[in-house]
Copies of this chain bind each other. A is one copy, B any other.
Amino acid sequence: MSRTFEENLALYAKLAVTEGVALAPGQELLVFAELTSAPLARLIAREAYRQGAKNVEVLYTDPDLTLARYEDGSDEAVEYAPQWLIDGVANAHRENAARLGILSSDPALLSSVVPERVATQSKAQGAARRIISEIITGFEINWSLIGAASPAWASRVFPNLPTDEAERRLWDAIFLTSRIHEADPVAAWRTHSENLEARVTMLDEMKLDALHFRGPGTDLRVGLADGHVWAGGRGRARNGILCSPNIPTEEVFCMPHRDRVDGVVSSTMPLSLRGQIIDGIQVEFVNGAAVNVRAKQGEEAFAKLIATDESANRLGEVALVPHSSKVGQSGVLFLNTLYDENAASHIAFGASYGENLSGYDTMSPEERVAKGANDSIVHVDWMIGSGQVDVDGVLRDGSVVPLMRAGEWV
């Protein structure tokens, strides 16, 4: 399949609108994009208008303005988040606006900023944006995240290549993992989604009590929430629309029980967190809480993250991904969780997803917690799977079913 870059980009825009957010005719679409992603954002806007969008509002973000706050702003500026803008966006979602995020940030943008300032600003943003997090984790509206190569991101992924060559290579990896290289990308994406959804059905039917991860530096038992529901592929938002929240996605994921995670676990890939690289994480869990946290790189930032609020040191997600997924096959370390979490099984500190709990919508917050749900303003995935990690399913009666061996589905 030999297409020009422009043809691939147009197909990618079409996939994002058709399968990503699955925009309904007459619906409003909010797009969040860095300035460098303007060419893609424009294609998406035109595709959305052709599909009947009532409005496409692109809210451009500028990484240099993020840096300006840290480098030239007062303490007051670092403690501030624009609630008026966040509330406006929340109001749009309440009126059923869909949401598409285009990720292209420099994974190490904030590497030279004092960690305290980053933590302070992140906490202020997290608190102000809680209203948005709830809309997303509660799956109130159809939403999707996709990626777009930027010079800054590409140069971190391919540090030895000239910038334009690095950008081309990163776009190739994005197109490959998003099935844009297929003859009919939209159809290929739908088939892939259906395969993931079949895996979800199978896991739900097993009615597992826990997952058990074993590998180098890892012996972790993750109890699953009472009434947990596996998810993966597309999901149906509460506004009735079946969308693909992540493109790409290779995971099936579930809700851990916030109090029933025990053992030790080691990360298998670095991650970019709030503009800083974190690597070589080792965590010990007791009764669901992380009690001992180390990292070879970025330990301070990681420790601050899981101290953000009372429940940020407990798990909100556990996900299984075969090592041979399209992302794993690409051989690229993207330094962006949207991609890297699809190269390996992973867990996430922080908020759990409502869709992973049966009857979530009709429960009180206390009932949700009693079932094992976790409530936090953060949600940070990190990779714990590899070609050396085995995963067993543990049934209610204590018997064990092998799920993955050497990183692949049994």
Write the nearest CB–CB distance from A376 to chain B, whole angstroms. 25
Contact at B57–A77, with CB atoms within 8 Å?
no
A329 contact set on B, CB distance < 8 A: none
Q: Is A360 an interface residue (CB 8 A)?
A: no
A42 contact set on B, CB distance < 8 A: 62, 64-65, 68
Contact at B91–A87, with CB atoms within 8 Å?
yes
Q: Which of A71-123 contact B (CB under 8 A)?
A: 71-74, 76-77, 80, 82, 84-85, 87-89, 91-92, 95, 97
The answer for the CA separation of A55 and B55 in the assembled complex, in Å, is 28
* Highest count of chain B CB atoms <10 Å: which of A38, A53, A59, A80: A53
* Highest count of chain B CB atoms <10 Å: which of A50, A80, A82, A89: A82
A73 contact set on B, CB distance < 8 A: 49, 53
Q: Categorize the interface residue count of chain A.
A: 35 or more
Q: Is A60 an interface residue (CB 8 A)?
A: yes
CB contact under 8 A between A91 and B80, given known A60-B35, A60-B60: no
Q: Which of A42-56 contact B (CB under 8 A)?
A: 42, 45-46, 49-50, 52-56
Write the nearest CB–CB distance from A373 to chain B, whole angstroms. 30
Write the nearest CB–CB distance from A95 to chain B, whole angstroms. 7
Write the nearest CB–CB distance from A128 to chain B, whole angstroms. 11
The answer for the CA separation of A97 and B64 in the assembled complex, in Å, is 21
Instruction: Determine which of B55, B59, B60, B91 lies in contact with A77 in the assembled complex, contact meaning CB atoms within 8 Å.
Output: B55
Contact at A74–B49, with CB atoms within 8 Å?
yes
Closest to A50 in B: B72
Q: Is A58 an interface residue (CB 8 A)?
A: yes
Contact at A55–B80, with CB atoms within 8 Å?
yes
Q: Is A69 an interface residue (CB 8 A)?
A: yes
A69 contact set on B, CB distance < 8 A: 49, 55-56
A56 contact set on B, CB distance < 8 A: 65, 68-69
Q: Which of A4-60 contact B (CB under 8 A)?
A: 26, 28, 35, 38, 41-42, 45-46, 49-50, 52-60
Write the nearest CB–CB distance from A42 to chain B, whole angstroms. 5
The answer for the CA separation of A42 and B46 in the assembled complex, in Å, is 28
A89 contact set on B, CB distance < 8 A: 84, 88
Instruction: Determine which of B58, B64, B91 lies in contact with A62 in the assembled complex, contact meaning CB atoms within 8 Å.
Output: B58
Write the nearest CB–CB distance from A18 to chain B, whole angstroms. 15
CB contact under 8 A between A49 and B68, given known A54-B80, A77-B54: yes
Interface of A toward B, CB cutoff 8 Å = 26, 28, 35, 38, 41-42, 45-46, 49-50, 52-60, 62, 64-65, 68-69, 71-74, 76-77, 80, 82, 84-85, 87-89, 91-92, 95, 97
**12 A-B interface contacts by CB (under 8 A):** A28-B82, A35-B35, A45-B65, A46-B71, A49-B77, A53-B74, A54-B80, A57-B82, A58-B65, A84-B92, A85-B88, A87-B88
The list of the 6 closest CB pairs from A to B, nearest first, reads A88-B88, A49-B72, A60-B60, A84-B91, A84-B92, A49-B73
* Known pairs A26-B76, A35-B35 / 9 extra A-B pairs, C-beta < 8 Å: A28-B80, A41-B62, A42-B65, A49-B77, A53-B74, A54-B76, A84-B88, A84-B89, A84-B95
